[in-house]
Amino acid sequence: MVGEGILKGLAETARNFFGSYVSKDRLTTVQYPEQREPQIEATRDFPFLVYDGADWKQGMRCVACQICEKECPPKCIYIDKSKDKKPDAFGKPQFYPATFNIDISVCMSCQICVEVCPFDAIKMDVDYHLSSENRFGGLLLNKQRLSKSNEYYNAIHPTEAAAIDAQRAEEQAKLDAKAKAAADAKAAAEPKAAAEAALARKVPAQPSAGDPQ
């Protein structure tokens, strides 16, 4: 019968239409601004800079090594290295970025900057509410706008951030142990050194003592 195939197809649309009232997987859309889909953990859009502690200027992990600037495929990162050095989170004096701009209108969210960063300083954000009235300045993010705390990073990518925190804590512990060992060695060496010093003082004294004069 002509039209049988069409009727069969219409039965299918009817099943979907009425099914959408009862079955969740037939009704897949959400009413966006009011309802939102849960965030998928691995999601990425644009890079941001991680800082430790409360002060973004003090705790910035970036040491302005400029690897990400060099490796970025569309070349959207602009870094100026500082002239002086500041102590980083591990207390080692490091350079810091005097300017760090990312033009997110050029960025293509490939996350190669994240992969090449040896300091875990640059990570991918998930914030997609980025519209701006200013076409150029509004999408050129400077250091301050890029800086986000480690707590924020932990909130958006928990698994990844926890692994990095553990790794950094281990490094810190190693450094502490090293510092402690050095201090211990110094402390252990101190009486010995003092004794040696005393001995050294004595040594020239001895001949004087044994001086026939």
Partner 1 sequence: MSTAIHPAASFELEQATEPGMDQLLEISMGPQHPSTHGVFRMNVVLDGERVVRLKPVFGYLHRNHEKIAENETYLGSMPYTDRLDYMCPLTNNWAYALAVEKLAGIQVPERAEYLRVITGELTRLQNHACLIGFLMQDMGASGTPLMYAFRQREIILDLFEALTGARMMCNYMRFGGCRVDLPAGWLDQAKKVVAEFPRFLDEYERLLVGNEILMDRTQDVGVLSKELAINAGISGPMARASGVDYDIRKVDRYGIYDRFNFRIPLGSHGDVYDRFMIRVLEMRESVDILQQAMRDIPEGPIVDPKTKIRGFRPKPGEAYARIEGPKGELGFYLVSDGSPNPYRYRVRPPSLINLTILEDLCLGRNVADVVVILGSIDIVMGEVDR
Q: Which stretch binds partner 1 (CB under 8 A): 39-47, 170-178, 191-199, 204-212?
A: 39-47
CB 102 within 8 A of CB 146: yes
Nearer to partner 1, 17 or 85 (CB): 17
Judged by CB under 8 A, the residue of 8, 36, 83, 201 near partner 1 is: 8
Does 159 interact with partner 1 (rule: CB under 8 A)?
A: yes
Minimum distance from residue 113 beta carbon to partner 1 (Å):
11
The one among 30, 41, 151, 176 contacting partner 1 by CB under 8 A: 41
User: Of 58 and 111, which has the nearer Cβ to partner 1?
Assistant: 111
**What is the 3 state secondary structure string of the chain?**
CCCHHHHHHHHHHHHHHHHHHHCHHHCCCCCCCCCCCCCCCCCCCCEEEEECCCCHHHHECCCCCCHHHHHCCCCCEEEEECCCCEECCCCCEECCEEEEEEECCCCCCCCHHHHHCCCCCEEECCCCCCCCCCCCHHHEECHHHHEEEHHHHHHHCHHHHHHHHHHHHHHHHHHHHHHHHHHHHHHHHHHHHHHHHHHHHHHHHHHHHCCCC
Binding residues for partner 1 restricted to 89-128, rule: CB under 8 A? 108-112, 115-116, 124
Among 16, 99, 105, 144, binds partner 1 (CB under 8 A): 16
Residue 86 touches partner 1, criterion: CB under 8 A: no
44 near partner 1, judged by CB under 8 A: yes
* Binds partner 1 (CB under 8 A): choice among 52, 58, 67, 154: 67
Return residues touching partner 1 (CB under 8 A): 2-6, 8-9, 11-13, 16, 28, 40-44, 67, 71, 73, 108-112, 115-116, 124, 159
